[in-house]
């Protein structure tokens, strides 16, 4: 039998009642929104892409021929994704990765001499663009590549008229929070995962 997990906004009165009943917090997560003006000013986003290209990296949208490299990068980074019950990251094989393209997701990568070193995956709903995940090869971190590939994905959807973007993750992933704040996202929701010990 698996434990029952309750995922509730942190300011919901039920949190206090559950904790009084003996529940404990086993994870914290957040959701953030970026709201662009209309017409949007994309200069700050574009600057992050330019900063990456100045490191001799190519930032571009990826087609399905990149699926093997996306799969390899995700496998390399999988164990580093902070886990919460609300933000679990599945193990993805190449068939799962190909499904992104089949389902209409758009993928943006940073490429160094033919090698994929960063990726951001975004989907479009009727209301907004929603980032599925962003990840960077361990040897290329702290060079602004997560910001650059995510900015590229936002600019592409903004060109198609999207003005609201969503993202989220584990509270423990401070790097992701900083990266999103740099792009102009504001955290609008915080969630707690609670269970009986």
pLDDT digits (tens, 9 = 90+) for 144-156: 999 999 999 999 9
Query: What average pLDDT does this structure show over 54-74?
Result: 97
* pLDDT averaged over every residue in the chain: 91
Contact of 97 with 74, CB cutoff 8 Å:
yes
Residue 173 has what pLDDT?
80
Scan for tokens 């039998």, then name that residue: 1
Helices 145-159, 174-182: crossing angle, 10 deg rounding: 50
For residue 19, pLDDT beyond 50: yes
Give the residue carrying structure tokens 């903004």. Answer: 158
pLDDT band at 49 (very low <50, low <70, confident <90, very high): very high
Residue 137 CA to residue 102 CA, distance in Å, equals 25
Tell me the residue range of the domain where 105 lies.
5-195
- Domain tally for the chain? 1
Per-residue confidence (pLDDT) for residue 36, from 0 to 100? 97
Write out pLDDT tens, residues 89-112: 778 899 999 999 999 999 999 999
Pairwise CA distance, residues 53 & 175, whole Å: 21
Cα distance between residue 119 and residue 109, in whole Å:
4
| 29 touches 190 (CB < 8 A) | yes
pLDDT at 133 over 50: yes
Share of the chain above pLDDT 90, in %: 67
Give the per-residue pLDDT at 2: 47
Q: Is the pLDDT of residue 67 over 70?
A: yes
pLDDT confidence bin for 127, thresholds 50/70/90: confident
Q: Cα dist. 36→1, 57, 82, 183, 185 in Å?
A: 45, 27, 29, 11, 10
The candidate with the shortest Cα–Cα distance to 136, out of 73, 47, 71, 62, is 73
pLDDT for 23-37, tens place per residue?
998 888 889 999 999
Record the tokens describing residue 8, joined without a space: 């509730």
Greatest mean pLDDT among 82-86, 118-122, 179-183, 185-189 lies in 118-122
Cut 0.85: pTM above it: yes
CATH of the domain at 48: 3.40.630.30
Q: Which residues contact 65 (CB under 8 A, 6 or more apart)?
A: none
Q: Given pLDDT bands bounded at 50, 70 and 90, which one contains residue 1?
A: very low
Cβ neighbours, 10 Å, residue 34: 22
């Amino acid at each position: 039998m698996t434990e029952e997990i309750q995922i509730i906004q942190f300011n919901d009165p039920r949190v206090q009642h559950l904790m009084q009943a003996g529940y404990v917090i086993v994870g914290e997560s957040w959701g953030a929104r970026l709201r662009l003006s209309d017409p949007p000013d994309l200069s700050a986003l574009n600057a992050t892409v330019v900063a990456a290209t100045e490191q001799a990296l190519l930032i571009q949208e990826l087609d399905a021929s990149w699926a093997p490299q996306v799969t390899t990068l995700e496998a390399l980074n999988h164990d580093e994704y902070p886990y919460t019950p609300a933000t679990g990251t599945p193990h993805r094989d190449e068939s799962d990765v190909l499904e992104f393209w089949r389902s209409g997701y758009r993928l943006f990568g940073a490429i160094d001499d033919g090698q994929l070193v960063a990726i951001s995956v975004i989907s479009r709903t009727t209301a907004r663009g929603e980032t599925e995940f962003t990840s960077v090869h361990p040897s290329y971190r702290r060079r602004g590549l997560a910001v650059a590939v995510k900015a590229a994905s936002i600019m592409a959807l903004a060109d198609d008229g999207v003005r609201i973007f969503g993202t989220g993750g584990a509270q423990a992933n401070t790097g992701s929070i900083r990266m999103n704040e740099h792009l102009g996202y504001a955290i609008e929701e915080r969630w707690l995962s609670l269970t009986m010990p």
